[in-house]
Structure formats: C-alpha cells, structure tokens
C-alpha cells in the first residue's frame, strides 16, 4: 500500500533572493507543507500525534538540489511514506507543475518519542500502523 500525496505551490516573492531563485532553506519548509498534507491524509498529523502520546521529531533531513525553483513558478511537491516499522521516513520530490521537470528531491526521518517517559521508541507505536492500515508485527 502506497501512502503519498501531492500539493501544488506557487513560489512567492518573499521566498526568493535577488536573482529570483528560491533560497535553499525554504525547501525544508516546502517539504514540511507536503508532510503535513500527507499526515493529515492518513489522520495522524501533529495534533493527533500529540494526542496519541508520541512526539515525532525530525532527526534527519536530506535535500538534493537538481534545478532551481524561481519566483512565480508553480511547483508540485510529492511526499511518500517509504518506511514506518522503526521510524517514519518520507521521500519528497519537487517538480515543475507544467513540465514535470525534477527540481529537488530529499527525505526526512522522524522517530517516535514517548511523551510520558521522553524515551525514543525503537519500534513505531501501534497507532502509526493503525493509521496506515497495517498489521502490527
């Protein structure tokens, strides 16, 4: 079962430098916007995570810049869950909406932390498996 979603975003002026190219740090924000849309789609966005007793901090973020995004360009950001058993790994792909040209790719890794004990979980909690429609092994 594939869990993914895509969103479109038009690059705003306040995200670009004097050359009208997106500043590299904004890509993490674009990933986050897509990640929240994906988590919302499975019914386990940050408020639901908190309410289930788990925090899910990002422990790793990787971004590979292929082509620059520019002011006014409409991009499509796709987020896909690729690992969930011991950590939550989400792959991202940013493409130009009109041409499909790949602009940026990357991934983030999050781990469950029991909010009561502040201990990291070495296996994802059952609630994540439930939200993904998976059997707990």
CATH number, domain of 106, equals 3.10.129.10
Q: Is residue 120 part of a domain?
A: yes
The token pair at 9 is 């975003």
Number of independent structural domains in the chain: 1
pLDDT at 25: 95
Environment class of 14 (CB within 10 Å of its CB; exposed 0-12, middle 13-18, buried 19+) = exposed
Domain that holds residue 122: 3-131
**In Å, what is the CA distance from 104 to each residue of 28, 62, 69, 77, 128?**
11, 11, 9, 9, 28
1 falls in which pLDDT band (50, 70, 90)?
Answer: low
**In Å, what is the CA distance from 96 to each residue of 3, 28, 41, 82, 102?**
22, 17, 23, 23, 7
Q: Is residue 104 part of a domain?
A: yes
Cα gap 78→10, rounded to integer Å: 14
Q: Is residue 136 part of a domain?
A: no
Q: Is residue 137 part of a domain?
A: no
Q: Is residue 124 part of a domain?
A: yes
What's the rounded mean pLDDT across residues 6-12? 98
pLDDT at 114: 98
Q: Is residue 46 part of a domain?
A: yes
pLDDT, mean over the chain: 96
- For the stretch 15-46, pLDDT in tens is 999 999 999 999 999 999 999 999 999 999 99
Q: Is residue 112 part of a domain?
A: yes
Determine phi and psi for 38, rounding to 5 degrees: -65, -45
Expressed in percent and rounded to 5, the helix, strand and coil fractions of the chain are: 25, 40, 40
Q: Is residue 15 part of a domain?
A: yes
pLDDT at 136: 67
Q: Does residue 101 carry a pLDDT above 80? A: yes
- For the stretch 55-70, pLDDT in tens is 999 999 999 999 999 9
| Inter-residue contact 8 to 72 (CB < 8 Å) | no
């Amino acid at each position: 079962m594939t869990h993914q979603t895509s969103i479109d975003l038009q690059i705003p002026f306040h995200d670009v430098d004097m050359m009208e190219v997106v500043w590299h740090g904004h890509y993490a924000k674009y990933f986050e916007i897509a990640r929240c849309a994906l988590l919302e789609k499975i019914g386990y966005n940050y408020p639901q995570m908190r309410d289930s007793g788990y925090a899910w901090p990002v422990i790793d973020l990787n971004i590979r810049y292929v082509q620059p995004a520019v002011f006014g360009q409409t991009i499509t950001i796709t987020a896909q869950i690729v690992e969930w058993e011991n950590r939550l790994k989400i792959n991202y792909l940013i493409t130009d909406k009109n041409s499909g040209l790949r602009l940026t790719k990357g991934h983030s890794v999050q781990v469950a932390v029991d909010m009561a004990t502040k201990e990291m979980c070495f296996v994802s909690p059952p609630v994540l498996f439930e939200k993904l429609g998976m059997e707990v092994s």
